Amino acid sequence: MAILNFQQPDKIILQKATDFEAQFEFRPLEPGYGVTIGNALRRVLLSSLEGHAIIGVKIEGVEHEFATMKGISEDVVEILLNLKQIRFKKIVDHDVANEKISLSIKNKTEFTAGMLGENTHSFEIMNPDLIICTLDSSAGMDIELTIG
């Protein structure tokens, strides 16, 4: 059985580095092997990122995501897409698996991301001015969100 001569990188050179990025040079590499190493590095780096987002939504009176709600300008799909845009930052030291937030929105004209920040002690809302939905003066909404 023949052993292939596989050219491995003998130099790894740090081209430039800042607090937020770095540029490396690996050489020499076999043709096409740079893509393989790049994909592996990308997957490792992305899996190492820590982040928090809304992982569950329950809206009172809504049976499916394609429904509309009386007195609310946006349909449920638009509300869910707006909720996905909320950016969270963990502000507690201990591990919080999931946090549930229940909101009852009445007598308001807008539901903003900042309203969630008033009801959580574990996360800070980075974009509190983000408008989730617009309500008529007579409309109300009961919503339960799970942040994980």
Burial (Cβ within 10 Å: 0-12, 13-18, ≥19) of residue 147:
buried
Residue with the larger pLDDT of the pair 131 and 3? 131
**pLDDT for 30-55, tens place per residue?**
888 889 988 999 999 888 888 899 99
Start-end of CATH 2.170.120.12 domains in the chain: 54-147
Q: Please, which pLDDT band fits residue 8 given cuts at 50, 70 and 90?
A: confident
φ, ψ at 113 (rounded to 5°): -65, -30
Q: Which 8-state DSSP code applies to residue 87?
A: -
pLDDT for 114 beyond 60: yes
Which amino acid, residue 120?
A: T
Exposure string over 17-41, b if 16+ CB within 10 A, otherwise e: eeeeeeeeebeeeeeeeeeeeeeee
**pLDDT for 55-109, tens place per residue?**
999 999 999 999 999 999 999 999 999 999 999 998 877 777 789 999 999 988 8
User: What pLDDT is attached to residue 121?
Assistant: 85
Query: What CATH superfamily classification does 54-147 receive?
Result: DNA-directed RNA polymerase, insert domain (2.170.120.12)
Angstrom distance (rounded) from CA 138 to CA 127? 27
